[in-house]
Every structure is written in structure tokens, then in C-alpha cells.
Chain A
């Protein structure tokens, strides 16, 4: 057997050594890993913020912090989780690493721009950090920066929104790179209906990134303009409209939910067929549902504004559109379940995490329908129900898809395998902790407990205590998962090039891949999820 030098041993551009080989790299795989470590750092910080918040709420009155710090902490938790973890996690790490390989090419279309995006991401994160310790301290506005509060408050809003602005630029450039690579760099023999579903999901996401992100960038600049010059864009006394801010904010921030979840759905579409040893059910339906979610998801932003004073006609219209988004999402869930039906299922940590995703995401989606309907939404608006729904979708959905992707592609990225037993324990504990954490919050919301409140009535104490208990379980589960993955660097159990029996192109290259990805010209299959050969091999091995 011939050995091929991996991308770790081959700097790109050639000649760079040591830390410079990383900091000046054009290699999409190195950049994917650089994103990974940065994003994991932010995830841990934001998770600890969340844990402190829930600890504070475990009992009535002051527990570990005062109300000002509590307000800043939930803003910090939201800003970091949204802009520095959930949005970039799957596209920036796994998209960068695997999109070119799945398309049969050696890099993204603009490798230098890719490096620049990473620097923008780091610079945005750094600015967010600086805003913590400078001026009047971190904002207490919540991650939504709603006016008029964000315009009038003395805390460091301007610097924080500039950090979000820069992070938005990074996100747009990554999207631009993916779209261009998709059209211009993929293997000549690969037709549109031969592209793996993960790459399709990144393509749909990239369009939302490019079209919606400029809106939030402009809106955040307007907030700074208002703070500096008091133009009155959102001030009715000066002819402005306060609801306009909400329109502009949600024009991005609702599609951003789909920027967060679509790549996660792409991950699940890769994992389910591999461990069912069966071709994905409804390939074209999944492709079209990804594009459908990208389009329909961009038209429903005002369902966040039913109680804002918006016109009744708009409330009716946006409610109707919101229900339409459920259709493509359901198409995906049905396709995943149908793929497993009569499949030859092999349980592994990535599959377990994917199944947890389907369960939690479905609850998130269905509770979303409660909020999409105007009547119930008015009852639970701005309560813990919304917080729980959002986390079911974003954490139960994207978070678990991220964990699943880590466990699925870890052997490919590092060429080593992790301990399955510890991965199972971590996954199950995380899922149980998750349910303990968020189900009480759904109930608290139905009972009327508002979100973002520092203190509460005695009747909410049991629910808040349970939620806090769940938060600790959740964090322990995640800790076990991460430690297990990190321990694999010490144990160094080598992984083969195709440890799971996958059929997409990344499983045809060595683990970890060489710098130009392919040792031989990639063989493009008629259909990317044809498991007939893999199934025959498995049968042969069993004999």
C-alpha cells in the first residue's frame, strides 16, 4: 500500500512552515480546522454564560449575580451563540472542509478570500471581546438590539454591533465562495442531480447568506448612526418608525434561522443513508425542499412581530406564509424516516445523534407552529415558551447536527477514531439534559413566565429549578463528548479512508486527505447515494 502525505504535512502555499503554514494558508481544509477551534472556543464561553444564567434562575431572588450582570450575560450568551457559533458552525467548519471534496475539486474558487473571511471572523470575535471590557461594558439589550433601548442605553452597543457587522461580512464572503465553487469548480462530469445533499444544503444557505446578511449590516450601521447623530429613523417624534427597526432586523434574523438549520439538515441527509445502507429516499424532493426553505424562509420574518403594532393584514399574511415553511421541512423529516424504513441500520454515535436531531427538531418545528398561529402566539409571546422553542430548533436541531457532523467526519478530518462507548454516554446524557432543561421551559412559558426576567413568582420556582438541573446534565454530557473526541488524539486509533461505508467523494480519499484532495481523478457516480457496492462488500465480509 502506498502512503500519501496528508494536508497536515503539505503546507499550501508551499514553503510555509510552523504557525505561518496555518495563519497564511489557502487550503480549505486547514481553514475549516482553524474555524473549528475558534468556534469551539466561543461555544464553550457561551455555554458557560448560559449555565450561569440558569444557575441564577434556579432559585428566587439573587442567587449568584445581580440584575445588571444578568442582563449583560443573556445578551453575551445570545450574541456569541448566534453570531460566533450557530451561524458559522456547520458551513464554516464542515462546509469549508468538505464542500470542495464533495464537488470533486481541489479547493474553493477564492482561496485567499476564504482566508480573509477567517480573519474577519476572528476580528469580529475580538471586537466582541473588547466591547466586554471597554466603555460602559457589554450591552444589556439582548441579541436583538431593539430600538429605542439600544439607541438610548449607555452600554457599549456601538462596538458590539460593529462586531456583528464584521462577522456578517465574513459570513457573506463564505457564502459567495461556496456559490462560486458550486457553479465553477465542480467536476465536469457531476450534474446538478449528482451533487451530495450536504453540498446542496450549503448552496441554499449561501444564497440566504448573500441576500439577507446585507440587511442586518445596514440595520446595525443605522443603530450606530442613531446613537451618534440622533437622526430619528426609528423615532416617531422625528417622523421615524420604531417598527421599521423590527422589520429590518427580522428580515435578516429570521432567514438567519435557516442559515443555521439548513446545513444541519444537510449533515443529517448524509448520515442517515450511510448507516441505513440504503439510498436516500426522495433525493430530488430534499434538494427542492432545501431551496424551498431558503426562499419561503426569507418571506416570513414578521411572524416575530405580531404584538408589535404591525397591521392586521400583515399579521394574517405572515402567519399564512409561516405555515407554508413547515411543508419543505416536513418533506425532509419524512424522507429521512423513509430512508431508514427497511434499511440495514447500523447504530453508531453519528446516527444516534442524527436520530436525536430528528426528534428534537420535530418538537422545535411543531412548537413553531404554535407561535406561527396568531392566537396562541399572543398568549405565549416573549415567554419562556419562545426560548424553549428556539432552543429546540437551534440547539436540538443545529447543535445536535453539529455534534453528529463532528462524530461523522472526525475520522476523515484527523485520520483517527474515537471511543464509541463514551460517545454514546455523552450523547445520551446531553439529550436527557436537554429535555430536562427545555421541557420545563415550554411549560413555564405556557404558564406565563416571561423571558429575560431576572426574578419570578414563587409558582415558577420548580420549573426553573428543573431547567437548571437539566442545564448541568446537558453540560456534563457535552463535556464527556468533547473530552472523548480530544482523547482520540492521545489514543491515535487509526481510521481507514472509509470507516462508515459512505458513498460520497470524501470517503474515496485518504484520511486525512492530501493537500489537493484527490490522489486519482475522482470517479463521479451516477447517483451519489448508490449503496449497492457497499452492501455487497458488507455481505461478503459477513460470509
Chain B
């Protein structure tokens, strides 16, 4: 059996800090929506969103403190989703 991961409790300070980071990133998202960056409009918005998601996953969902099984499961799930969406888009692109 895999070793049990220890329960990890985040301090209020750390949680508040992450919340602050997320709020700042939300502010940036709103701010860049007023800028016209041409082609980079969507990639930039997605990059900010991905950064926010990463913070939520790592700290609020404790992925940073989990063992390899949970991390591997998460990566596998995301890869599966990526492939499903990617292959479907690929079909549409070449029709």
C-alpha cells in the first residue's frame, strides 16, 4: 500500500496571500480586457486564467502537498481532457 500522505493544514496567512494573488490576477484580467493586443488578446487572457487555476490547485486544493499518486492522477486526467478536446478541434481544423 502506498504511504498515507500527512494531512496538511494551510495557515490563514498563506490562504489570505493566495486569495490576494487571485484578486490581483482578476484585476489584471479586467484591465487587459480594455487593451487591444490583436492576436494576443485570447492567449494572454488564457495565460492569466491558467495561472489562477494553478494557484487554486496547488494551494486551495492541496495538490502541492499530495503524494505522487494524486499528482499523477491529476496530470493523467488533464492530459486525457486535453487530448479529447485537441483531437476534436483537429478534425474541425482539417475539414
A binds B: yes
Q: Which residues of A contact B (CB under 8 A)?
A: 183-188, 190, 207, 211, 215, 241, 243-244, 247, 251, 298-299, 302, 309-314, 317
- Verify if B47 is at the interface (C-beta below 8 Å from A): no
Query: By the criterion CB–CB under 8 Å, are A298 and B90 in contact?
Result: no
B: contact size bracket: 10 to 19
CB-based contact A298/B91 at 8 Å: no
Shortest Cβ distance from A444 into chain B, in angstroms?
31
Q: Is the CB of B88 within 8 A of A313?
A: no
Bound: A378/B92 CA distance, A: 21
8 Å CB contact of A211 from B4, B77, B90, B91: B77
Cα(A184)–Cα(B2), bound, Å: 7
List chain B residues, Cβ under 8 A from A215.
84
Seen from chain B, the residues whose Cβ lies within 8 Å of a Cβ on chain A are 1-2, 4, 69, 76-77, 80, 83-84, 87-88, 90-95
Q: In the complex the two chains form, is A314's CB within 8 Å of B87's CB?
A: yes
Could you tell me the distance between the alpha carbons of A422 and B43 in the complex, rounded to whole angstroms? Answer: 68
Q: Which residues of B contact A298 (CB under 8 A)?
A: 80, 83
When the two chains form their complex, are residues A188 and B1 in contact, meaning their CB atoms are under 8 A apart?
yes
Which residues of chain B have C-beta atoms less than 8 A from A187's C-beta?
1
Residues from chain B with a CB closer than 8 A to the CB of A309 are 95
Asked if A299 contacts B83 (CB within 8 A), the reply is: yes
CA distance A187 to B90 in the complex (A): 45
Q: In the complex, what residues of A have CB within 8 A of residue B88's CB?
A: 244, 247
Q: A311-B95, A312-B94, A313-B94 are in contact. Are A183 and B77 (CB under 8 A)?
A: no
The majority secondary structure among interface residues of chain A is helix
Contacts of B69 in A (CB 8 A): 183
Q: Looking across the interface, which residue of chain A has its beta carbon closest to that of B77?
A: A211
- In the assembled complex, 28 residue pairs joining A and B whose CB atoms fall closer than 8 Å, in A order, are A183-B2, A183-B69, A184-B1, A184-B2, A185-B1, A188-B1, A211-B76, A211-B77, A211-B80, A215-B84, A241-B92, A244-B88, A247-B88, A247-B91, A251-B84, A298-B83, A299-B83, A310-B91, A311-B90, A311-B92, A311-B94, A311-B95, A313-B94, A314-B87, A314-B91, A314-B94, A317-B87, A317-B90
A302 contacts which of B76, B87, B93 (Cβ < 8 Å)? B87
Closest partner residue, chain A, to B69 (CB atom): A183
Residues from chain B with a CB closer than 8 A to the CB of A211 are 76-77, 80
Q: Within 8 Å CB of B91, what residues of A? A: 243, 247, 302, 310-311, 313-314
In the complex, which residues of chain A have a beta carbon less than 8 angstroms from the beta carbon of B92?
241, 311
Q: Cα distance A154–B37 when bound, in Å?
A: 49
Contacts of B94 in A (CB 8 A): 311-314
In the bound complex, CA of A241 to CA of B92 (Å): 10
> Which chain B residues lie closer than 8 Å to A186 at the CB level?
1
CA distance A302 to B92 in the complex (A): 13
4 A-B pairs closest in CB distance: A311-B94, A313-B94, A314-B91, A311-B95
Cβ contact within 8 Å between A299 and B77: no
B75 to chain A, nearest CB (A): 12
Tell me, rounded to whole Å, the shortest Cβ–Cβ distance linking A47 to chain B. 34
Whether A183 contacts B1 by the Cβ 8 Å rule is yes
Separation in Å of the A147 CB from the closest CB of chain B?
16
Query: Which B residues are CB-close (under 8 A) to A190?
Result: 1
Query: Shortest beta-carbon distance, A336 to chain B, in Å?
Result: 28
Shortest CB distance B1–A (Å): 5
State the CA gap A190–B2 with chains docked (Å): 10
9 further A-B pairs in the complex, CB-CB below 8 A; given A188-B1, A243-B91, A311-B91: A183-B69, A184-B2, A211-B76, A211-B77, A211-B80, A251-B84, A298-B83, A311-B90, A314-B94
Using Cβ atoms and an 8 Å threshold, which residues of chain B touch A185? 1
B72 smallest CB distance to A (angstroms)? 11
Least CB distance, A100 to chain B, in whole angstroms: 13
